[in-house]
Structure 1
Amino acid sequence: MTGSTARHDEAYHWPPELLELLIQVVPLLCRSKIAVVDFFRSAGVSEALLMGFRRQLDQDRDSITKYAIARSVLRQVNEQGDRGLPVRRSLLRNVTEFEDFALCWPDDQLKAEGLVAKIRKLVHVKDSFTRLQERQEAEREQRRAEQEERRLKIESRRRKLAGLRAELSALFSMADVRKRGLALEGLLNRVFAVEGISVREAFALRSEDGQVAEQIDGAIELDGSVYVVEVKWWKEPLGIDPVSRHLVRVYNRAEVRGLMISASGFTKPAIAECELALTQRVMVLAELRELVMLLEGEGDLSGWLREKVRRAALERTPLAVFGVDF
């Protein structure tokens, strides 16, 4: 296993350099051959694997060395793959946490201490490298997840806009003018909602006797500003009267802006009236064809409205038409 492999306690097996160090150090940590066997048993090595060594030591203690026992057991444990993972973890923990070197033979103490230090360093280096790898991989995974989330949002927006575009196209063939107007109001609310613009759908203000005192087609909120929205689908361009009525709604509400959308455009006097209103409030005029173009091109509705507001506030141009003026 090199620096690009998994952590020592999660790997399929120990790397050769770590395995060799363990083979060298375990016999030094144990004074006797049977102590080596018991060391392995205490780490969770199965008695079935150790039983042959116990018998061999009982029959002829000199027939095998501590190093031979350690090499055979550690190699077998290492070859167990994932099945031997708990034992490998335990063995490595017992070695790296070993501190009482006085238990070793006096001549082995310094060598054992040095080998344990090497193992600790090797484990630390590999863990540090692996932690860096894991952190980098986590960052890559987070970027992949964010990219996938953006892709899904884009696809979802595209599908929703396609559906709304089809609905809007169908409205042009609707004969009932009143139903068409109401349908357009609801559709535009959903267009704004798809773009993440906060929407309050049509509502009515009633007098004390229950009569409708004021009908509001809807309200939207963008960048902390609230816009009272009015939508008209008339045959002729909107004149001063409907525009003035909407301006009154705006004036009657503190810090509120106005947005009026017409399927038939606006007369010059109506536009001039809104220009005068811009000295007191932001009033934006829009044509339905602008929204049709935005839907067809999957344009940014928020950016469209921001640009119209900027031109209205700074240039005193209530009607700046998308595709013509910008």
Structure 2
Amino acid sequence: MSAEYEQQKRPTGQGPNEPDAGTAADARRLALEIIATLVNIKKTAAEQLLRKAGVTDALVRRFLTERNPATGEKRSKREAGAMVFDELVRVGADAAVVRRLIAIAADWDAFHLAQDEYKARAVVQKAREISGVLAEADSRERILQEQRSRQEDERRRTERALVLQQQSDLLLAQFDQASIDEDAQKRGYLLQDLLNRLFDLHSFPVTRAFQRNNGGEQIDGAFELEGWHYLVECRWRVKVADIRDLDGLLGQVRRSGRQTMGLFLSINGWSEHVEGLLRQNPDKSILLMEGYDLRSVLARQADLRELMKAKVRALNLDSEPYFSVKRLRK
């Protein structure tokens, strides 16, 4: 190994297995020594070392052919290797190539290719030593990255919870204000908007009120849950809903694609016959939701996604069109 390489010193106070910026410099110097020492013939070094380490064809050609402008002679392996690393640094690809060269050297046993077998064996031994240092550094970096990732996840959860709290409180205040408004039409429009905003707040893909079939159908809104689309109809009337109030939504669902269901939201509930008649419907395509369900979610006493999944499960497994939030909170 060259005297220049042997004389490289670690910063004062750095332990032999303590990777830092100095270790990266040590690794690059070692990689250059690998190129200069392990293989005597330049072309063979290019094939056995540079190409296997991922150096591009263009740089390999420069390594083999570039000449020293001062002398006109082809550069030595060390000079050409330094040029290769300078180019790799310029494009930000040096670290990976250095690592691969060290890995190649750590497993090297073709000492017959070297001009000086003693120097080659010393370089291989150094590669094995620094491979351990780099492995430890990688392990510590992975641990740090995992810690940073957990901290970032926690920060996002905290931030998300704060937004959810603030927006839910705002929607709840609007809901309670609307409950004393005597304008039924105004309440209905507000309910549509509030429900859309609530589903959007809970990260459901939402489609706001729209028309289809050349304006023949008015849909209050829609959302998506686990690959299924749900058409929404909202009612906020003093009188409870009856089965005729659901006919429109049933028809809209039937005229939709196969993976479409309906959510009927009636703030003041529905008549005693509605659930029984829906159980008799062979399609089992309508979920029921009442004002208490909605307000519980707005007050953050229940999770909207969890509630919707429970409603879907109750309909599909128990033929129950209505699953109360009260059951979820038990």
Q: Relative to 1, partners in 2 of residues 1:3 and 1:295: Cα closer, same or farther, differing over 3 Å?
A: farther
| Among 225, 229, 233, the residue aligned to 2:232 | 229
Q: Aligned residue for 1:244?
A: 247
Q: What does 1:311-326 correspond to in 2, within 5 Å?
A: 311-324=314-327
2:20 equivalent to 1:7: yes
Q: What does 1:210-289 correspond to in 2, within 5 Å?
A: 212-255=215-258, 256-277=260-281, 279-289=282-292
One-letter amino acid matched to 2:179:
F
| Among 176, 198, 201, the residue aligned to 1:194 | 201
Q: Aligned residue for 1:131?
A: 138
2:187 equivalent to 1:180: yes
- On the 8 A contact 1:199/1:221 being kept in 2, the answer is yes
Give CA-to-partner distance per residue, 1:188-239, whole Å, 9 cap, x none. Answer: 01101111111111112365xxxx5322111111111111110000101101
One-letter amino acid matched to 1:317:
E
Q: Aligned residue for 1:84?
A: none
Q: Residue 248 of structure 2 aligns to a residue in which SS?
A: helix
CA displacement at 1:284 relative to structure 2: 0.8
Q: In the aligned structure 2, how far is the partner of 1:120 from the partner of 1:220?
A: 58
Q: In the aligned structure 2, how far is the partner of 1:148 from the partner of 1:3?
A: 37
Q: Residue 286 of structure 1 aligns to a residue in which SS?
A: strand
Q: In the aligned structure 1, how far is the partner of 2:17 from the partner of 2:154?
A: 26
Q: Relative to 1, partners in 2 of residues 1:117 and 1:261: Cα closer, same or farther, differing over 3 Å?
A: closer
Q: Aligned residue for 2:58?
A: none
Q: Aligned residue for 2:87?
A: none
Q: Relative to 1, partners in 2 of residues 1:128 and 1:216: Cα closer, same or farther, differing over 3 Å?
A: closer
Q: In the aligned structure 1, how far is the partner of 2:176 from the partner of 2:153?
A: 34
Q: In the aligned structure 2, how far is the partner of 1:215 from the partner of 1:120?
A: 72
Q: Aligned residue for 2:307?
A: 304
Indicate the larger mover: 118-127 or 144-153.
118-127
One-letter amino acid matched to 2:228:
S
Q: Residue 9 of structure 1 aligns to a residue in which SS?
A: helix
- On the 8 A contact 2:284/2:319 being kept in 1, the answer is no
Larger Rg: 1
Q: In the aligned structure 1, how far is the partner of 2:122 from the partner of 2:266?
A: 84
Give CA-to-partner distance per residue, 1:236-275, whole Å, 9 cap, x none. Answer: 1101221222212222223221110011110012222222
Q: Relative to 1, partners in 2 of residues 1:231 and 1:2: Cα closer, same or farther, differing over 3 Å?
A: same
Q: What does 1:29-178 correspond to in 2, within 5 Å?
A: 122-178=129-185
CA displacement at 1:308 relative to structure 2: 0.9
TM-score scaled by structure 1? 0.62
Q: Residue 266 of structure 1 aligns to a residue in which SS?
A: coil
Q: In the aligned structure 2, how far is the partner of 1:266 from the partner of 1:243?
A: 10
Q: Relative to 1, partners in 2 of residues 1:114 and 1:265: Cα closer, same or farther, differing over 3 Å?
A: closer
Q: Aligned residue for 2:43?
A: none
Report percent identity of matched pairs: 23
CA displacement at 1:280 relative to structure 2: 1.6
- On the 8 A contact 1:8/1:127 being kept in 2, the answer is no
Q: Relative to 1, partners in 2 of residues 1:301 and 1:101: Cα closer, same or farther, differing over 3 Å?
A: same
One-letter amino acid matched to 2:289:
A
One-letter amino acid matched to 1:245:
G
Q: What does 1:11-30 correspond to in 2, within 5 Å?
A: none
Unaligned runs of 5+ in 1: 15-95, 103-108
Q: In the aligned structure 1, how far is the partner of 2:201 from the partner of 2:195?
A: 10
- On the 8 A contact 1:165/1:292 being kept in 2, the answer is yes
2:318 equivalent to 1:295: no
| Among 204, 207, 210, the residue aligned to 1:203 | 210
Unaligned runs of 5+ in 2: 1-13, 27-104, 106-113
Q: In the aligned structure 1, how far is the partner of 2:151 from the partner of 2:217?
A: 50
- On the 8 A contact 2:240/2:269 being kept in 1, the answer is yes
Paired positions, count: 231
